[in-house]
Amino acid sequence: MGNRLTYCRYIVILLILAISACKKGPNSPETQVGFIKEFNFSENVSYGAYIEQTKDNNLLIIGREGTSPGNLFICKTNLQGNLLWHKSIIKDTFTVDYIRSMNNGTYLSSDYNWFSMIDSSGNFLWSVNNASVPSEYQGSDAIYSNGKYYQAFSNGYSNGGSASNNFVYVYDINHKYLNTYTYNDNGNVSGHTIWLDVIGTYPNGPLKILGQKFCHQAWQWTDPWKLFFGTTSGTALRDTVSVDDNQTRYSDNPLFFITKPDSGFVVIGTRSDHATNLSSILMLNLDKNMALKFEYTYSYNGFATGPQNVSQCKDGGYLITGQYQNTLANSNNNGYLLKIDANGNKEWEKSFSPAGSSVIRAGVELNDGSIAVTGSTTGFAKGKNGNDILLMRLDASGNLK
């Protein structure tokens, strides 16, 4: 009798385990493993520029496919990287450098003199092409804030670098042109050139401008560029931070920033060292008045290292994606992933060097604490020009499981 009861209990336990395994399904954390995968929908130059975990527990990737002008693409995979669907958006687009989630199932994509909106199903909604902008001007990423869209433009190299003309186009909620904010730096600091790179806002606050200020009238490639921070005042931009004209070794270029809970900012960019000809990742922590609290620089083993994007993690830290290159050996780009805490301290870093070249352009922390990243690679060489869309799934420490 005792043996029969033991046998019955054993069968019941097996049944419970089997039912539990069925309920977990293929996307359950216990069944997830790390992977490296690639896609190429156009058999040409392609890369992923944005990635997120969707509400239905899959991965959404947005990027570019095809040679210039190229097309925008959007695709969805499951958590194992298996492709579920893909759509190409064939419009008058160029390279895809900036993707912003609008938190309502739509995404704002921008670069050069255009910005457009797509939804999470890959449907094209609308596009604004600033055809009136002269070709020598370059646009920043576009943003939406307080019922308006903004995009900044610069012609910092005009007149040999001795003058600059900058403006921000403003559009209403229906993406119709409203007005222009202008900023010509000659009247502020004579001969200093401004280049507007990144724009953003406080929640329900003023527009913020981040860029570079060239410090000397006799412009040369090796001369320094310093950070410039501005804000809108009426219909013009005003300089809110002084520039150190005496520092001649480094040039700083802001690329991304995240608004902190205290209304301050974390800025991620590039610092170029003119003495060594090497670059590193620059991290600035600013208060709500855009005054510097502290800064850090990061590089992988002393190699030239640059950022591609930054995202915030659940612990208050930041995940920075990018690439590094051993310039002394003239090596290919290698994918780079860096995790820092809220105070800028390095927690870990990882490099990814498949055969050929690779760049990690975007990353996101998933609900279970693991990490998904996307970018480009030539390691598989399925595209005619070698660049394929890279997708990787890593554990919480950046390791393949």
- Taking the C-alpha atoms of residue 344 and residue 363, their distance in angstroms, rounded to an integer, is 18
Band (180; pLDDT cuts 50, 70, 90): confident
pLDDT in tens, 346-375: 999 999 876 678 899 999 999 999 999 999
For residue 75, which of 58, 93, 92, 56 has the smallest C-alpha distance?
58
What pLDDT is recorded for position 87?
92
Q: Which two tokens stand for residue 375?
A: 């970018």
User: Which of 71-85, 100-114, 164-178, 231-245 tops mean pLDDT?
Assistant: 71-85
Assigned CATH topology for domain 130-298: Tachylectin-2; Chain A (2.115.10)
Q: Which residues contact 40 (CB under 8 A, 6 or more apart)?
A: 46, 65, 382, 383, 388, 389
What pLDDT is recorded for position 23?
45
Sheet strand arrangement including 98-101: 98-101, 106-111, 114-119, 124-129
Average pLDDT, whole number, for the chain?
76
How many C-beta atoms surround the C-beta of residue 119 within 10 A? 14
For residue 253, which of 269, 230, 274 has the smallest C-alpha distance?
269
Mean pLDDT to the nearest integer, 13-40: 55
The model's pTM is 0.83
Which residue type is seen at 343? N
Residue 53 pLDDT greater than 60, yes or no = yes
Q: Which two tokens stand for residue 148?
A: 């308006």
Q: Which residue has the higher pLDDT, 401 or 242?
A: 401
Band (200; pLDDT cuts 50, 70, 90): low
Residue 158 pLDDT greater than 50, yes or no = no
Which residue type is seen at 280? S
Band (183; pLDDT cuts 50, 70, 90): low
Report whether 289 contacts 299 (CB < 8 A). no
Which long-range CB contacts under 8 A does 160-166 form with residues at least 24 apart?
A: 160/219, 161/193, 161/214, 161/219, 162/191, 162/193, 162/217, 162/219, 163/191, 163/193, 164/192, 164/193, 164/194, 164/195, 164/214, 166/194, 166/195, 166/196, 166/211, 166/237
Instruction: Answer left, alpha or beta for residue 156, where phi above 0 means left and psi between -120 and 50 means alpha.
Output: alpha
User: Which of 213-227, 278-292, 323-337, 338-352 tops mean pLDDT?
Assistant: 338-352
Band (26; pLDDT cuts 50, 70, 90): very low
Query: What is 305-317 written as a DSSP string?
Result: EEEEEEEE-TTS-
pLDDT in tens, 247-306: 567 778 888 888 888 888 888 988 888 788 889 999 988 887 777 888 899 999 989 999
Query: What is 106-174 written as a DSSP string?
Result: EEEEEETTEEEEEETTS-EEEEEE-TTS-TT-EEEEEEEETTEEEEEEE-TTGGGGT---EEEEEE-TT
Sheet strand arrangement including 292-298: 250-259, 265-273, 278-286, 292-298
Torsion of CA 184, 186, 189, 190, to 10 degrees: 170
What pLDDT is recorded for position 229?
61
Mean pLDDT to the nearest integer, 161-178: 77
Q: Which residue has the higher pLDDT, 178 or 329?
A: 178
Q: Which two tokens stand for residue 70?
A: 């190229």
- Taking the C-alpha atoms of residue 282 and residue 308, their distance in angstroms, rounded to an integer, is 12
What pLDDT is recorded for position 201?
57
Task: Name the residue ranges covered by the structural domains of the chain.
Answer: 1-31, 34-93+308-401, 130-298
- Quick one: which H or E segment has residue 13? helix 2-24
Mean pLDDT to the nearest integer, 206-216: 64
For the chain, how far is it from start to end, CA to CA, in angstroms?
46
Residue 309 pLDDT greater than 60, yes or no = yes
Strand pairing report for 207-214 and 334-340: unpaired
What pLDDT is recorded for position 159?
42
Q: Which residue has the higher pLDDT, 10 or 274?
A: 274
Instruction: Tell me the residue ranges of DSSP E strands in 207-290.
Output: 207-214, 225-233, 236-239, 250-259, 265-273, 278-286
Q: Which residue has the higher pLDDT, 143 or 66?
A: 143
- Mean pLDDT lowest among 125-134, 164-173, 376-385: 376-385
